Amino acid sequence: MTESPRAWRRELVGSMVEAAVLFSRDGQVLAINDRARDLLRTTPDVATDGVVETLSNAELSRAVDEVRVTGKPITVETEHGHRHLRASASMVSGETLLLISDRTQEKRVEELRRDFVVNASHELKTPVTSIQTLAEALSVVIHEQPERVPALVTRLGDEAERLAALVHDLLDLRRLEERGTREREPVDLTELVRQVVAAQVGRADGAGVELSVAAPDHLYVDGVAGDLEVIVKNLVVNAIKYNRTGGSAQVRLRPIGTMIEFAIEDTGIGIPQADLPRIFERFYRVDTARSRETGGTGLGLSIVRHAVEHHGGTIHVDSRLGQGTTFTVRLPAGRPPPGEPNR
Ligand code: ADP
């Protein structure tokens, strides 16, 4: 072979965006680009190394050898150095071209999705099974022990409520996980917070928790009202649920530069340091029994995180076990609509 076709091959392979390796008819490496060196973690000697030394991966070597024998293109997937690679080998004028792409990220997303379906089905199964069992019990008790009916009906209602909360949260999560732009508008966050808090006073009273708001009037956020409500409601409900009798939860709002800060501080049970990095994960709960007892779905904080990120905001948590927790959310400030006071 003359020098020029070889140089031409090197240039061609080097110019490819995708990781590429070219092998000669007799299985020696003719050209390899930087992306392929990086993915394969290899630095072969061009023109002296063969398929096996170059690829250092049994599945990829087998694919190249097979193409060299059959001449038919082939695609394989393999794990290599903590990466998930997809490679296609094909014959080009008697030589074999191997193109490799890094599918690690896609594989991880696929796995997360699969885990999500498994977890969601498992979570849905619990109330569904309870409802079936209670319905069966009712059909017997209604004739034989009618005095037990009211208690069973109450439990049936509770389980149906849990199921409804779960379906509701799953739909919220799905909606928020879909990227895509939603119409944002100036939303009076102070007003929204006061309304959400007012709606939770009954729950707070029931739990013996004092709920308060400290906020200047009319702080505007550039956002989607429904999503902002989801953020505030989930955090307020958690501050009540994970509190103690005689405790308190305070919501504070203030402008900070171009952002509006929303902080909610409770005097509740707190979160162990080791759990803090995981509480925004779907279905993660510190204490599963307590979460279930209070009607939790384990989805609230992951919904909150998605909604905050959609707004280009940040969320931060500080907690001391046995003393309390503060969630701090910052959201981009919005311009008040014309005619409204500016802050
Ligand atoms: P859940 O539906 O279980 O409340 P979340 O996603 O809202 O699910 O919260 C995840 C977990 O984080 C909860 O199960 C609870 O263990 C913990 N957590 C959330 N908020 C608080 C809080 N204010 N104080 C203590 N623990 C909290």
Model pTM greater than 0.95? no
Domain shared by 77 and 140, yes or no: no
Atom 14 in ligand 1: residue holding the nearest Cα: 285
Give per-residue pLDDT as tens, 15-54.
999 999 999 988 899 999 999 999 998 888 877 788 888 8
Atom 16 in ligand 1: residue holding the nearest Cα: 286
Domain shared by 196 and 325, yes or no: yes
| Host domain of residue 340 | 183-343
Amino acid found at 306:
H
Domain shared by 45 and 149, yes or no: no
Domain shared by 77 and 118, yes or no: no
Domain shared by 24 and 53, yes or no: yes
pLDDT of amino acid 43:
84
Domain shared by 130 and 242, yes or no: no
pLDDT of amino acid 1:
47
Ligand 1 pocket test, pick from 244, 285, 316 with the greatest ligand atom count within 8 Å of Cβ, gives 285
Residues having CB closer than 6 A to ligand 1 are 234, 238-239, 242, 266, 268-271, 279, 284-287, 291, 296-302, 325
Domain total of the chain: 3
CATH code for position 342? 3.30.565.10
pLDDT in tens, the chain (343 residues): 445 677 888 899 999 999 999 999 888 999 999 999 999 988 888 777 888 888 889 999 999 999 999 999 999 999 998 999 999 999 998 999 999 999 999 998 898 888 888 989 998 999 999 999 999 999 999 999 999 999 999 999 999 999 999 999 999 888 887 766 678 899 999 999 999 999 999 999 999 999 999 999 999 999 999 999 999 999 999 999 999 999 999 999 999 999 999 999 999 999 999 999 999 999 999 988 877 777 788 999 999 999 999 999 999 999 999 999 999 999 999 988 877 655 5
Nearest atom (ligand 1) to Cα of 268 = 24
Domain shared by 188 and 86, yes or no: no
List C-alpha distances in Å: 292 to 162, 240, 245.
Answer: 9, 15, 19
Domain shared by 336 and 207, yes or no: yes
Domain shared by 52 and 94, yes or no: yes
Of 41, 67, 102, the residue at which a domain comes to its end is: 102
The DSSP string of 53-94 is: HHH--HHHHHHHHHHHHH---EEEEEEETTEEEEEEEEEETT
Of 118, 150, 179, the residue at which a domain comes to its end is: 179
Domain shared by 318 and 216, yes or no: yes
CATH code for position 20? 3.30.450.20
Domain shared by 160 and 171, yes or no: yes
DSSP helix/strand/coil, 307: helix
Of 56, 81, 102, the residue at which a domain comes to its end is: 102
CATH code for position 114? 1.10.287.130
Give per-residue pLDDT as tens, 187-224.
999 999 999 999 999 999 999 999 999 999 999 999 99
List C-alpha distances in Å: 214 to 146, 217, 230, 264.
Answer: 51, 10, 20, 10
Domain shared by 98 and 109, yes or no: no
Tokens 């989930």 correspond to what residue? 234
Q: How far is the centre of ligand 1, averaged over its atoms, from the C-alpha of 297 (Å)? A: 9
